[in-house]
A = this chain, B = another copy of it.
Amino acid sequence: MYNKAYQRREPQLKVGLSCRFFSTDDDKEITCTMSNLMEEFESVEALLKKLPPDDYKKLKNVLFGTETYELPLSENVSKMAENYNFDVLSCKFSCEKEELRPPRIVRVGIFQNKIPMCPETPIVKQREAVHRMAKDAIRTAAAGGVNIFCFQETWSKFSYMIEARLFEQKCRDMPFAFCTKEKLPWTEYAENAKHGPSTLFLSELAKMYNMVIVSNILERDETHGDTIWNAAVFIDNHGDYLGKHRKNHIPRVGDFNESSYYFEGNTGHPVFDTEFGKIAANICYGRHHPLNWMMFALNGAEIVFNPSATIGDLSEPLWGIEARCNAIANGYFTCAINRVGTEIFPREFCSGDKKPAHRNFGHFYGSSYVTAPNGSRSPGLSRVRNGLLIAELDLNLCRQVRDKWGFRMTQRLEMYSQCLNKAIQPDFVPQVIRK
């Protein structure tokens, strides 16, 4: 146990230096060198803005698309966010007016966060604290007119860890513990999708704020052999549980030892038809799988959330690519949400990368963003701080873009259905041409 974790003897605000904690087991000093913190800059946008305005504009148009506008929010929103110590960004996507269909304006809010309590706090109190943080975020989103709110992956899970960030001590990470391969205490945080504490808690807020909430949790299915799943729970704006989607693709890469905890989902690709649009969740590693995205489109999704937890060394250059590419390919909005912070665990673990066993999971780089079906994207949230991104969309844009590009009609699904039927046979012979 590391109950003096936050009593650093030499506060060092400079990024990239080593960080020292003290263990209560033996009161020995623990030094964690975080070389990857060297790279912890605020955000891609913050760096790009250092360019001359003309150059910035040209580059932004090519890199991020041109079709986003400022979305003014009431002063109250920024005050609340400041009070709760997280960033707020907002933007609006363009859409043409139609003659027969009225606009279908929706505001989505996506939230990236760390855990709010010191890890040695008793579990029940931690839960209260993480729920308090969630409540603050949802209240702020409500003040910003958000209709659909989504957390990052397994936001409600929390437990032992040491906060390694050298700045912004007020806000701390919750752990993504699958690197450890340990079962207890991590599996204790799995909860029932329909009746668990997170769902009950959020149902109240959903009703209070007339808001659809997507809550990605570690699910415990007590009625089917106490199995564990990684599931997104959908709660409607009347506080009613709509259903759940279980993560379809489970990683076995680097520290993401998730297949030790739960299996590939068995709930298909459900799309939830809410008062604010047809929504779905492609959970974390599922964003690498184009067919996972595609099936949500074939089931009619207009917004697909991608609640994630991923670190810099593994995936950061891929982050801006995948959710965006699949918004384009499928003609819907995607909302990619990643956690923030660097997590250091009590016991060492190894990462299969030929490096020594270590405690540091690497830096979760946040950078949550929203993409429209035309490929235009919002600015990204910070790489280092909690944040709420509010994006205003007109869902009519989905059909407009589908009509323009025609991807669905030029998709040749019949051909690919035949192709896949052949490709899954163990004796499938690839179409290879040799002289």
Would B271 and A431 count as touching, CB distance under 8 A?
yes
In the complex, A285 has a CB within 8 A of chain B: yes
Would A290 and B290 count as touching, CB distance under 8 A?
yes
A252-B406, A288-B407, A291-B416 given; 14 more Cβ-contact pairs under 8 Å: A50-B55, A62-B316, A242-B433, A249-B411, A249-B412, A251-B410, A253-B406, A270-B432, A278-B432, A290-B294, A298-B419, A298-B428, A321-B328, A416-B420
Q: Give the Cβ gap from A351 to chain B, nearest Cβ, in Å.
A: 12
Q: A317 touches which one: B48, B66, B321 (CB < 8 A)?
A: B66
Interface centre among A251, A317, A421 (most CB of B within 10 A): A317
A65 to B312, CA, bound (A): 11
Q: A416 touches which one: B50, B61, B295 (CB < 8 A)?
A: B295
In the complex, A201 has a CB within 8 A of chain B: no
A44 to B44, CA, bound (A): 14
Q: Which residue of B lies closest to A430 (CB)?
A: B299
Interface centre among A62, A271, A329, A405 (most CB of B within 10 A): A62
Given A317-B64, A317-B376, A419-B269, also A236-B435 (CB < 8 A): yes
In the complex, A320 has a CB within 8 A of chain B: yes
Which chain A residues in 206-263 approach chain B with CB under 8 Å?
234, 236, 240, 242-243, 248-253
Chain B residues within 8 Å of A128, by CB: none
Q: A431 touches which one: B63, B269, B324 (CB < 8 A)?
A: B269
Would A407 and B289 count as touching, CB distance under 8 A?
yes
Would A430 and B325 count as touching, CB distance under 8 A?
no
Would A317 and B63 count as touching, CB distance under 8 A?
yes
In the complex, A52 has a CB within 8 A of chain B: yes
Chain B residues within 8 Å of A273, by CB: 432-434
In the complex, A17 has a CB within 8 A of chain B: no
A291 to B418, CA, bound (A): 12
Number of copies of this kind of chain in the complex? 2
In the complex, A100 has a CB within 8 A of chain B: no
Given A298-B423, A419-B269, also A63-B44 (CB < 8 A): yes
List 21 A-B residue pairs with CB atoms under 8 Å apart, sorted by A's residue number.
A44-B59, A47-B51, A63-B63, A236-B435, A249-B412, A269-B419, A271-B431, A273-B432, A273-B434, A290-B290, A290-B326, A290-B329, A291-B411, A291-B413, A295-B423, A298-B428, A299-B431, A300-B430, A322-B328, A413-B424, A416-B420
Interface centre among A39, A240, A278, A290 (most CB of B within 10 A): A290
Given A48-B59, A58-B47, A317-B63, also A417-B412 (CB < 8 A): no
Q: Give the Cβ gap from A254 to chain B, nearest Cβ, in Å.
A: 8
Q: Give the Cβ gap from A321 to chain B, nearest Cβ, in Å.
A: 5
Chain B residues within 8 Å of A271, by CB: 430-433
In the complex, A346 has a CB within 8 A of chain B: no
In the complex, A70 has a CB within 8 A of chain B: no
Chain B residues within 8 Å of A318, by CB: 328, 375
The 7 closest A-B pairs by CB, nearest first: A290-B290, A325-B325, A65-B317, A299-B430, A417-B420, A291-B416, A273-B434
Would A417 and B421 count as touching, CB distance under 8 A?
yes
Would A424 and B414 count as touching, CB distance under 8 A?
yes
In the complex, A69 has a CB within 8 A of chain B: no
Q: Give the Cβ gap from A317 to chain B, nearest Cβ, in Å.
A: 4
In the complex, A264 has a CB within 8 A of chain B: yes
A236 to B404, CA, bound (A): 39
Q: Which residue of B lies closest to A266 (CB)?
A: B415
Q: Which residue of B lies closest to A249 (CB)?
A: B410
Chain B residues within 8 Å of A322, by CB: 325, 328-329
Q: Which residue of B lies closest to A268 (CB)?
A: B431
Chain B residues within 8 Å of A93, by CB: none
In the complex, A167 has a CB within 8 A of chain B: no
Q: A289 touches which one: B61, B320, B410 (CB < 8 A)?
A: B410
Would B435 and A240 count as touching, CB distance under 8 A?
yes
Given A62-B316, A431-B268, also A413-B406 (CB < 8 A): no
A297-325 toward B: CB 8 Å interface, digit per residue (1/0)? 01110000000000000001110111011
